[in-house]
């Protein structure tokens, strides 16, 4: 992607159908997956291919979703794709979200105004100012996922 390309604003809810989290049993990479096609009140499962952990939750029973930093909104588990670099947290729900963040950093669209629920709004300012460090951390996060599922 080049600096001349324009990145289309994405909202965080676009990435909620498949989330990588730290398993509450073994702390390896587990998956939170949307089990139905409902727009609201959907059912999600959390499964770990490493230890066999499984849990299911219906979003109706939880009330409104709260999208908070570095935690999945359904089970409140820590995200697997998160790091501190250099002094702030960088996190992503899944590899598509991480790829979007990487593209955003490469395009350097700093200074633009974004909606409060957008991916861009959730990014710390340092990802643009410390582009090389942020991109290195993104690659490290990608590598941890690929190593986990070999």
> Per-residue pLDDT tens for 23-43?
999 999 999 999 987 766 789
Contacts of 30 by beta carbon, 8 Å cutoff, 6+ apart: 20, 21, 22, 23, 24, 46, 47, 48, 49, 50, 53, 77, 80
Q: What is the pLDDT of residue 119?
A: 60
Q: What is the pLDDT of residue 63?
A: 62
Specify the pTM.
Answer: 0.76
Q: What is the pLDDT of residue 120?
A: 57
Q: What residues in the chain have per-residue pLDDT under 70?
A: 1-10, 39-40, 60-65, 86-87, 108-126, 128, 148-150
Q: What is the pLDDT of residue 5?
A: 39
Give the three-state DSSP class for 21.
Answer: strand
Q: What is the pLDDT of residue 1?
A: 37
Alpha-carbon distance values, 59 to 17, 34, 64, 73, 141 (Å): 12, 10, 8, 9, 28
Q: What is the pLDDT of residue 2?
A: 38
Q: What is the pLDDT of residue 136?
A: 87
Q: What is the pLDDT of residue 117?
A: 45
Alpha-carbon distance values, 61 to 2, 16, 67, 72, 113 (Å): 44, 17, 16, 16, 34
**H helices of the chain, where?**
95-107, 119-122, 126-129, 131-148
**What are 48-64's pLDDT values in tens digits?**
999 999 999 987 666 66
Q: What is the pLDDT of residue 12?
A: 80
Rounded CA separation 121/102 (Å): 14
């Amino acid at each position: 992607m080049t600096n001349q390309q324009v990145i289309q604003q994405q909202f965080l809810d676009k990435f909620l159908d498949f989330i990588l989290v730290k398993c509450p049993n073994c702390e390896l990479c587990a998956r939170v997956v949307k089990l139905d096609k409902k727009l609201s009140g959907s059912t999600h499962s959390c499964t770990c291919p490493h230890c066999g952990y499984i849990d299911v939750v219906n979003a109706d029973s939880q009330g409104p979703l709260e999208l908070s930093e570095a935690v999945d909104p359904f089970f409140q588990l820590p995200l697997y794709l998160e790091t501190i670099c250099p002094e702030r947290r960088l996190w992503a729900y899944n590899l598509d979200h991480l790829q979007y963040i990487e593209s955003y950093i490469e395009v350097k669209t700093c200074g633009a105004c974004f909606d409060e629920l957008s991916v861009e709004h959730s990014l710390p300012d340092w990802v643009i100012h410390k582009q090389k460090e942020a991109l290195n951390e993104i690659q490290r996060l990608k590598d941890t996922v690929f190593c986990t599922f070999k």
